Structure 1
Amino acid sequence: MKKIHVGFLLSYDYELLKFSLPPVYEEADRIFLAKDKDSRTWKGQKFDVDPGFYEWIKAFDTQHKIEIYEGDFYLPELSTIENDTRERTMLSQKMGIGNWLIQVDSDEYFIDFKKFVSDLRQYDSYLDDPENNKIQIFAFWAIIFKYTANGILYIDEPMKAAFATNYPNYKVARRTNERVIYLDSIVLHESVARTEAQLRFKLENWGHNVDVHKDFLNKWIAVDETNYQTMTDFYYIEPKRWKTLSYFPTKKIEEIKNYVATSKNLKITKSHLMLRNFGQWFKFLFKR
């Protein structure tokens, strides 16, 4: 027990796991890839996995940490977000309560997972009786919005995101609505950075498919590195949540990581982190 267990969802964007798996591999004790037994999305659409991907997993997994967990993750009577939450719950239960249950999506790339684990270990005492000491661990996304001709557009401030918990009573996707502990780790998140065809498929099949703002796709298509400074309000549900974009002059993930590490507008200050964590501690002080 008290192991670092990392779970991924293996679905239509499985090829991205070739980028999201390597950053967590060394520090993880076990890794679980959850795949629907009939290769269905949360909306029930079918997807195919190239057999060569499984060959890549076999070759990559030199320490024999990776387990593919197949289950019935699509129920037609549930909405996409309900199927999303259900699969994540089943995955974390498979990973084993009593361990750190970390879920990383295929389009999320940790900048420094070793630091994330080191910071997480400071809270190992919450694994002794997780059902009565429920917490969730948040880090921060650096959100890649769109690949352009010569680089990428990204949301110019870090966005909080849930990544780990000691007890998987998920309410919506990875969120448990329990006390949050924030860690100052940055995770690259490709989010809506796809080809137009890939993005259209994602918007139809992910957990937020019924929530997407009617103007989002047209704005995503229109924005590029020449006009992004003249446009605002980019979030796919509530546009004003992603107010403005910035630009990195590269499309290479490793180079983007270096830009993120030195970016002032993506820096998480100690005072900001302390204030957030104190607020969460105080909020839940009398709820136990």
Structure 2
Amino acid sequence: MKIKVGYLVSYDYEMFLTSVKQLYDYVDTIFLAIDKNYLTWSGNSFEIEEGFFEEIKRFDVKNKIEFYFDDFYVPGLSPIQCDTRERNMLLKKMGDGWLIQLDVDEYMYDFKKIRKFLKQHWYLTIFPKFTPVIFRGIWITLFKKLPEGYLYIENNERFPFITNCKKYDGPRTNYSISNHIINAKAIHQSWARSEEEIFFKIKNWGHKDDFDTQKYFELWRDLDINNYRNYKDIHPMKPDLWNELHFMPASSIDDFIEHYAEKNKQVLKGISFFQLVKAFLIRIIKK
């Protein structure tokens, strides 16, 4: 049984090292999927400096990292369709075992506990066709970097990231198989970026057509240490999902990760045999 991690790398590639440092020692192989024409899912060009590849080479002392270049942008497909397509291509490339897909701005701290959890559930990877599962974690979403620290959201927002199956119906998810919440927390540097990075992101990510990105950008830009408590229900598509903002002093992203991890230990929720049998029987009945 192998534990493999796949990353989708694009315009925000500089965040990759912060993420991979959290798990490098606890996984077997790491794949970096990059569009060979350096195009986003919206068909816009991005650049990756050559120094990035040199830095990866220096970092990868155990030769775990493998680059995967392919055509991930398809004219005529929506950004979210390109997203799902690329993730499925990456799943196929990753092969068998526990397959974890992360974005470069997701930081799974204290990953050794996640490794232990997956090792305990090794039997689910023997015949994954009969025991397909997706494990979901919880995002701690960083919303804005201020001179004094970070604004963040802590509201049990769930996201899928581990599976033993070979096909997604949507981004990192499959609606026909069993999903389990294991409470693993990931610090998600989603919106805590510079104005230039945020503006580029909202014009190119999978959700760019789902809301008024310009209006939301202006809301984000106006936030500061004095007014953030006045902002409620600010998720761009499901407002009450982000009901309030919290603040933590931090000088850098590494500083935030360290302090947040100290106060919020990873406590994973186990999966009972009864749950697995029930999910299997439901799957058989539906077929």
Q: What is the TM-score of this pair, normalised by structure 1? A: 0.90
Q: What does the per-residue CA deviation read over 1:236-275, in whole Å, with 9 as the maximum and x for residues that have no partner? A: 2222211101000114233322432355xx67878xx579
SS at structure 1 position matched to 2:209 = coil
CA contact (8 A) 2:142 2:192 kept: yes
Q: Residues 107 and 269 of structure 1: is their aligned pair in 2 closer, same or farther, counting only changes over 3 Å?
A: closer
> Equivalents in 1 of 2:56, 2:266: separation in Å?
34
Q: Residues 128 and 275 of structure 1: is their aligned pair in 2 closer, same or farther, counting only changes over 3 Å?
A: closer
Aligned runs of 1:130-145 on 2, under 5 Å? Answer: 130-145=128-143
Question: Which amino acid in the other structure matches residue 3 of structure 1?
Answer: K
CA contact (8 A) 1:9 1:33 kept: yes
Q: Residues 69 and 120 of structure 1: is their aligned pair in 2 closer, same or farther, counting only changes over 3 Å?
A: same
CA contact (8 A) 1:142 1:260 kept: no
Tell me the CA shift for residue 18 of structure 1: 1.7
Q: Residues 216 and 123 of structure 1: is their aligned pair in 2 closer, same or farther, counting only changes over 3 Å?
A: same
Residue of structure 1 equivalent to 2:6 = 7
Aligned runs of 1:249-264 on 2, under 5 Å? Answer: 249-263=249-263
> Equivalents in 2 of 1:19, 1:179: separation in Å?
31
Q: Residues 278 and 152 of structure 1: is their aligned pair in 2 closer, same or farther, counting only changes over 3 Å?
A: farther
Between 25-34 and 277-286, the greater mean CA deviation after superposition: 277-286
SS at structure 2 position matched to 1:247 = strand
Q: Residues 50 and 139 of structure 1: is their aligned pair in 2 closer, same or farther, counting only changes over 3 Å?
A: same
Q: Residues 205 and 278 of structure 1: is their aligned pair in 2 closer, same or farther, counting only changes over 3 Å?
A: farther
CA RMSD in angstroms comes to 2.3
CA contact (8 A) 2:91 2:167 kept: no
Question: Which amino acid in the other structure matches residue 12 of structure 1?
Answer: Y
> Equivalents in 1 of 2:258, 2:187: separation in Å?
11
Question: Which amino acid in the other structure matches residue 172 of structure 2?
Answer: R
> Equivalents in 2 of 1:163, 1:170: separation in Å?
11
> Equivalents in 1 of 2:11, 2:73: separation in Å?
14
Q: Residues 65 and 226 of structure 1: is their aligned pair in 2 closer, same or farther, counting only changes over 3 Å?
A: same
Residue ranges of structure 1 left out of the alignment (5+ in a row):
none
Question: Which amino acid in the other structure matches residue 204 of structure 2?
Answer: N
Q: What does the per-residue CA deviation read over 1:187-207, in whole Å, with 9 as the maximum and x for residues that have no partner? A: 110112111121111111111
Tell me the CA shift for residue 186 of structure 1: 1.4
Question: Which amino acid in the other structure matches residue 130 of structure 2?
Answer: N
Residue of structure 1 equivalent to 2:79 = 80
Residue of structure 2 equivalent to 1:180 = 179
CA contact (8 A) 1:219 1:234 kept: no
Tell me the CA shift for residue 227 of structure 1: 1.1
1:286 is aligned to 2:282: yes
Residue of structure 2 equivalent to 1:127 = 125
Residue of structure 2 equivalent to 1:37 = 36
> Equivalents in 2 of 1:212, 1:147: separation in Å?
23
> Equivalents in 2 of 1:276, 1:198: separation in Å?
43
Between 150-159 and 55-64, the greater mean CA deviation after superposition: 150-159
Between 205-214 and 167-176, the greater mean CA deviation after superposition: 205-214
Q: Residues 242 and 227 of structure 1: is their aligned pair in 2 closer, same or farther, counting only changes over 3 Å?
A: same
Residue of structure 2 equivalent to 1:224 = 224
Q: Residues 283 and 162 of structure 1: is their aligned pair in 2 closer, same or farther, counting only changes over 3 Å?
A: same
Please list every run of at least 4 consecutive aligned residues from structure 1 whose deviation after the TM superposition is greater than 3 angstroms: 266-270, 273-285
Residue of structure 2 equivalent to 1:152 = 150
Q: Residues 148 and 284 of structure 1: is their aligned pair in 2 closer, same or farther, counting only changes over 3 Å?
A: farther
Between 223-232 and 32-41, the greater mean CA deviation after superposition: 223-232
> Equivalents in 1 of 2:161, 2:143: separation in Å?
20
Residue ranges of structure 2 left out of the alignment (5+ in a row):
none
> Equivalents in 1 of 2:69, 2:271: separation in Å?
41
> Equivalents in 2 of 1:243, 1:268: separation in Å?
23
Q: 2:166 aligns with which of 159, 165, 168?
A: 168
Q: Residues 124 and 153 of structure 1: is their aligned pair in 2 closer, same or farther, counting only changes over 3 Å?
A: same
CA contact (8 A) 1:216 1:235 kept: no
SS at structure 1 position matched to 2:53 = helix
> Equivalents in 2 of 1:6, 1:14: separation in Å?
16
Tell me the CA shift for residue 287 of structure 1: 2.6
Q: What is the TM-score of this pair, normalised by structure 2? A: 0.91
Tell me the CA shift for residue 92 of structure 1: 1.1
Residue of structure 1 equivalent to 2:239 = 239
Residue of structure 2 equivalent to 1:18 = 17
> Equivalents in 1 of 2:154, 2:128: separation in Å?
36
